[in-house]
Amino acid sequence: MTRLGYGFGRGARGPATARPEALWRLATVRAGESAYGIGNVSTSNSARTSGRIRDMLSNAHMTALRYADAAFIIGSDQAETAVSPQSIQRALEIGPAVGRVTWSGSAIGTIPGGALLWSDDLLPGALGLSEFPPGAMVWHRSMKDNLVGDTRANFPMTGPGTPEGEDQRGTTIGVDRLMQTGALPADGGARAQIDGAPGVLIGLAKDHGPTVLVGGDSRFYGVSGNAGPGTGTAGGPPRMALEQAGIPHAMQARSGSKIQDFVAGDFAKPVLRIGIIAYVSDILCNWSVNDMSNGRTASQILGDIAALVAKAKAINPQVRIWWTTMAPSTNGSNIPVGLYANSANDGRQAFNNEIRTNFAVYGLSGLVDISAAVEDPTQTDRWADFANDSSDGLHSRQTGQAKEAAVIKAWADALPAPLAAY
């Protein structure tokens, strides 16, 4: 039986009560469609990419929109290379109307361990509109091409995977194909990456409903097979569920990420630009398995969760934080998978049992029990249907992701309206 825990009640989700003042909050629901045109990528000086991402505005009545961009380009060793805010440009399309978005260079949103660069405000009149239509389909696309200079950060939302998450540039240092020009930073060697996080649109309105930031590892990122990058459902179970629920959300899932990175580094790790917490009502995370595979015990991971909750609430005291249970990590022969052996049995069970029973002790509003959806009910260290639910023993695939998404969807549908002060 699926188990869901709630710290703020179980009422059906409804529109938030109109507030006396307009607030900036996450503005779009990912619609799961992208289009790309990739040119010659053989050399760094001829690489050109154009692309756009389709979104859908939330149902809030927003009077202004603003993009967030990361203040840094990220190499595979987590080193940060600063970018020039003035080099960032973007276009927003709503129907036939197109508006140019620019960055003045102000470092609004500076936070411990990182920063966000907010674009100049975009008003409806800039697109020839009297208002931003609630629920309207929108496209985000690049405004720059064939330029010389530091333009690598001009469109982090476009990428062959989770647009606000990880964008891998291949197995060697090479061309920054996504950002039009220039080679990636040489730090980190193979698998150089850009962290295009958060790359989101926020809107000013009085009637925002729930908005969700998703933080997690490759299990949320959807890397294993058919529901992952390039399929139209990039982002795995959370994105599938939140799109269906119509809830504005941003994905910050990245392969191999751990909660310990954020806690130990005071959020300095770029995977989660924690500043976006100020603009959401809820956070859903699944970090645990990579921590355990790197030697952290269940009790240590739970302590890390409590530390992350405290730091998040220091930024947004009203934010509600939810965690998932840890799914199985065994192969088709029920043998623990590789480095994850110690997370497949006793440690995993200890973590799941504790968080199911005592989530409030760690400051959480509740849990989302995705493991119960895919584990064998009588032998809970195993997948119930390995052949269909997983592909490598560690990640879920099509049917498994659909089962997990159904549990997340039930959680999303039951989210209470945001607290008035959030």
Answer whether the bond into residue 198 is a cis peptide, omega within 30°: yes
- One domain for residues 156 and 287: no
- One domain for residues 187 and 268: no
**354 belongs to a structural domain:** yes
Percent of the chain beyond pLDDT 90?
A: 25
- One domain for residues 143 and 291: no
DSSP track, 78-121 = S-EEE--GGG-EEEEEETTEEEEEE-----TT-BTTB-EEEPPP
246 in Cβ contact with 60 (< 8 Å): no
- One domain for residues 219 and 335: yes
pLDDT of 210 over the 90 cut: yes
Our count of domains for the chain comes to 2
23 in Cβ contact with 381 (< 8 Å): no
Q: How far apart are CA 390 and CA 396, in angstroms?
A: 4
Higher per-residue pLDDT: 68 or 382: 382
Instruction: Note the pLDDT of residue 188.
Output: 33
**203 belongs to a structural domain:** no
Q: How far apart are CA 91 and CA 52, in angstroms?
A: 9
- One domain for residues 86 and 218: no
- One domain for residues 144 and 241: no
**6 belongs to a structural domain:** no
Last residue of some domain: 140, 170, 195? 195
Q: What is the mean pLDDT of residues 225-244?
A: 62
DSSP symbol at 230 = T
- One domain for residues 376 and 402: yes
Q: How far apart are CA 150 and CA 147, in angstroms?
A: 9
**9 belongs to a structural domain:** no
Query: For residue 291, which of 315, 307, 314 has the smallest C-alpha distance?
Result: 307
Q: With cut-offs at 50, 70 and 90, classify the pLDDT of residue 63.
A: very high
Q: What share of the chain is helix, strand, coil (3-state, %, to 5)?
A: 25, 25, 50
Q: How far apart are CA 395 and CA 220, in angstroms?
A: 9
Please report, for the domain that includes residue 362, its CATH number. Answer: 3.40.50.1110
What pTM does this model have?
0.78
Least confident of 2-16, 213-227, 273-287: 2-16
- One domain for residues 98 and 176: yes
By residue range, what is the domain housing residue 169?
A: 24-195
Query: What is the CB neighbour count within 10 angstroms for residue 392?
Result: 15
Instruction: Note the pLDDT of residue 249.
Output: 86
Candidate ranges 135-144, 280-289, 395-404; pick with highest mean pLDDT: 280-289
**18 belongs to a structural domain:** no
339 in Cβ contact with 290 (< 8 Å): no
